[in-house]
Structure 1
Amino acid sequence: MKFLDLFAGIGVFHSGMEKAGHECVGYVEIDKFARASYQAIYKTEGLYTTNDIRTVRASELPRSDVWCFGFPCQDISVAGKQKGFAGARSSLFFATTRLIRDLGEEDRPSYLVIENVKNLLSINGGFDFLKLQIELDEIGYDCEWDVLDTAEVLPQHRERVYIVGHLRGRGTRKIFPIIRNREQVDNGPNTVNTITARYGEAQGTGAYIAESKPPKIVVNPHGFNKGGVKDISPTITAGSFKDNTFVASCLTPNRNSALIREATEKGYKEANVGDSINISQPNSKTRRGRIGAQKANTLTAGEVQATLTKEMRIRKLTPLECWRLQGFTDDQFYKAAEVCSNSQLYKQAGNSVSVPVVYEIAKKLGFKE
């Protein structure tokens, strides 16, 4: 099947769809750095492309069977201002449906594959998600949706809602729920082989030692605290620990871990070797959920993901590791690294969708019931 890649970013839908045997006929992306990575990774010669979806005319788009788009989530994400569809970015969903309205029914794609943050289901009391369903209904699409977690195929906890629109009258097959076969997906120890979640359909994340009077353990950048106990030596910027309370070592003959401050009843959570640690806002008194047990927390556009190493050091994840956590190949990363800075590579990974999840959806497209 032929597909159009809208809000294309660095091409997650391109990777997942192509891996499943589908053919890209065009892409739209406004960010110049994401476009540079996209063009470095994929064979884009001869494909339709433009920058801004708001200026696209339906008549210029190549005909395709599937439109894929993860429209901007900044107005919907819990980390944003919660404007929902009233925000300038997330309302671009309607710029996409406008294009479909301008197409004759025979030229409309059979499928719409849409991705966004899970909060889309509940923002503004659920009314925005209702608006989305009504809009799809008005342009002729029934829809189904599922909340899928990347942690079920890769070691990153990342819940996203995936919506599939079916053009009425085309006899398209329902996609959800997705039940994976039991084949090995990855050789890593943190992979499971099922994707199951809630699904629906619609018609029409400093520390203190755990004692009764906990003494404050401070991080010393030189490697030892006042009591002579060897501390964790952060490999991230020392300024992030200016109050010396974010992290403390807890090393005994029977224990090898770090206590990370969190706004919980205990006031901390224990991180073991191999756990991820979110290092954003290290001095926050309200932050919780910093620790990922043997998997990364949800990647974001910033450089905030770290891990606890065997040497008891907190080390930031590299851009390559972040791209791997989204399912990109090393070859794809190195092509993008030739045209983008590390800060852009971190941002691109954090803004991305997860390739293996798209692949699972893409495998089920194009079959008749």
Structure 2
Amino acid sequence: MFPSCSRDANLKSCHKDSQRVFQGDTTVNEFSTLRQQAGLTIPEAADRLGYTERQIYRWENGETGPRRAVLDLLRTMKPATGNAQSGEPAFRFIDLFAGIGGLRRGFDAIGGKCVYTSEWDRFSKQTYRANFPDDDHDVAGDITQIGAEEIPAHDVLLAGFPCQPFSLAGVSKLNSLRRPHGFQCNVQGTLFFDVARIIQHHRPEAFLLENVKNLRSHDRGRTFDVIMRTLEEDLGYTVQTRIIDARYWVPQHRERIFIVGFRDDTDFDFDALPVPGKEDAPRLGSILHPEDGSEAPDERFTTGPKGRVLDRYTLSDHLWSYLQSYAEKHRAAGNGFGFSAFGPEDVARTLSARYHKDGSEILIRQKGRNPRRLTPRECARLMGFEKPGGTSYSFVVSDTQAYRQFGNAVVVPVVEAIARLMAPHIVSKSDEPAEARAGEEKAVA
């Protein structure tokens, strides 16, 4: 028998009861049911969904209800784990312009298997190998020198390709001569061309591309227009884009554009991506070394029984004086240039690849001392490559290279959220082995 609400019942409690269903002797709401079916604990659900544990407990207890998109996302988590009995992954993907594997981590988390990696920078390759030591493939080099036929068949293509202008010279002449041109002409000589030629050859079920927010306006919008025409008209994919600020997952304002494409018709809706509430967004204190002895020893970045950050990350008097003078000079001129200092309750600016030079975009205040840079481990946490308090990320390069790598990387929890939204549209159609689709012919413009 379902609970009824008496005239004098508390309205909040009544609403809470109305959301519940009975399973034997246990009363659970829809969120709790889906969470348990996905095999997630409360902390795991908070981590996977991008919300605080406090918010998860509210949903679990029926105090409030999540948005429909959150429930839909939970439903995707169960089937996206592959065939546990056979050991088969849910799907196979490739990682192009891989950097240090940020895009990959999001798709590893939903049961995918990376079958190919390409990255040209030797230091990034060192970091990648150190953090994915169990791969059964090596990290390939310059993608422009690799034939599409050398790349294994795959269900999903991931690529964080560089932003470059496209030369449209000769296109109007080809039009006048009524000769076909397509993307082979429009994007020839750019690194996006290599993404397009691999998609054309392998026809993966889906792709996820990532770039800077300004890709939309680059070269007066012509770059983005050519990319979209190539993906939609020349290659025949259904494409959606979205600019996402990572500040709702990590304590950093970082806007990036993500481009999702599917080969076949799908009801995928990028606007349905569950975004954590602003009130639950993390603050810098969650990724900083606590310096109170509660963190495991980390000799590369901290020292002493309390784990105090090493002095080398504190700005010298000379550099600190220079940054203050530089900021004052531009302030007097009416400009906004200068350093940015933050405390534990703040949200940082965007971490850039130039952070190793002076750290001016994200300085951490210190009582009675000059401010300091973030340590590379704090950068790993700021980008979501490891959890606050953890030391699971392997550092095998210099601090300078580590700063460059994180400054060029993607925020992992954002990618995982996108991957989970894409998951049901990938795994529902990947029962046919990717190898069987290799070379599949499809009419293209």
Residue 17 of structure 1 contacts residue 362 of structure 1 at CA under 8 Å; is this kept in 2?
yes
Task: Kindly indicate which of the two structures has a greater share of residues assigned to helix.
Answer: 2
Residue 262 of structure 1 contacts residue 287 of structure 1 at CA under 8 Å; is this kept in 2?
no
Counterpart CA distance in 1 for 2:399 and 2:370 is: 22
Please list the CA deviations of residues 36-70 of structure 1 after superposition, one character each: whole Å capped at 9, or x if unmatched.
11111114432264111101111121111110111
**Does residue 1:287 correspond to 2:337, yes or no?**
yes
- Which of 53, 57, 67 is residue 143 of structure 2 equivalent to? 53
Question: 1:93 matched to which residue of 2?
Answer: 192
Counterpart CA distance in 2 for 1:265 and 1:246 is: 11
**Relative to 1, partners in 2 of residues 1:300 and 1:174: Cα closer, same or farther, differing over 3 Å?**
same
Question: 1:159 matched to which residue of 2?
Answer: 255
- Which of 346, 361, 368 is residue 418 of structure 2 equivalent to? 361
Question: 1:235 matched to which residue of 2?
Answer: 314
Residue 342 of structure 2 contacts residue 363 of structure 2 at CA under 8 Å; is this kept in 1?
no
- Which of 15, 34, 39 is residue 124 of structure 2 equivalent to? 34
Instruction: Give the letter aligned to residue 163 of structure 1.
Output: I
- Identity of aligned pairs, percent? 32
Counterpart CA distance in 1 for 2:157 and 2:112 is: 12
Counterpart CA distance in 1 for 2:218 and 2:282 is: 37
Normalised by the size of structure 2, how large is the TM-score? 0.56
Aligned length: 280
Residue 16 of structure 1 contacts residue 356 of structure 1 at CA under 8 Å; is this kept in 2?
yes
Residue 307 of structure 1 aligns to a residue whose secondary structure is strand
Please list the CA deviations of residues 6-44 of structure 1 after superposition, one character each: whole Å capped at 9, or x if unmatched.
101110012111112222111111111111111111144
Residue 40 of structure 1 aligns to a residue whose secondary structure is helix
Instruction: Give the letter aligned to residue 123 of structure 2.
Output: F
Counterpart CA distance in 2 for 1:311 and 1:140 is: 60
Q: CA deviation at 1:345?
A: 0.8
**Does residue 1:67 correspond to 2:166, yes or no?**
no
Please list the CA deviations of residues 76-96 of structure 1 after superposition, one character each: whole Å capped at 9, or x if unmatched.
xxxxxxxx345x999311121
Report which of the two structures shows the higher radius of gyration computed on alpha carbons. 2
Instruction: Give the letter aligned to residue 95 of structure 1.
Output: D
Which consecutive unaligned segments of at least 5 residues does structure 2 have? 1-90, 168-186, 287-312, 429-445
**Does residue 1:149 correspond to 2:245, yes or no?**
yes
Question: 1:341 matched to which residue of 2?
Answer: 398
Task: Kindly indicate which of the two structures has a greater share of residues assigned to strand.
Answer: 1
Task: Supply the RMSD in Å over aligned alpha carbons.
Answer: 3.2
**Relative to 1, partners in 2 of residues 1:291 and 1:243: Cα closer, same or farther, differing over 3 Å?**
closer
Residue 339 of structure 2 contacts residue 363 of structure 2 at CA under 8 Å; is this kept in 1?
no
Residue 271 of structure 2 aligns to a residue whose secondary structure is coil
Alignment of 1:45-194 (within 5 A): 45-47=135-137, 49-73=139-163, 75=164, 84-85=165-166, 91-101=190-200, 103=201, 107-137=202-232, 138-167=234-263, 169-171=264-266, 173-180=268-275
Please list the CA deviations of residues 235-256 of structure 1 after superposition, one character each: whole Å capped at 9, or x if unmatched.
3133335558438xxxxxxxxx
Question: 2:58 matched to which residue of 1?
Answer: none
Please list the CA deviations of residues 181-215 of structure 1 after superposition, one character each: whole Å capped at 9, or x if unmatched.
67x98875889xxxxxxxxxxxxxxxxxxxxxxxx
Question: 1:6 matched to which residue of 2?
Answer: 96
Instruction: Give the letter aligned to residue 259 of structure 2.
Output: I
Counterpart CA distance in 1 for 2:380 and 2:188 is: 24
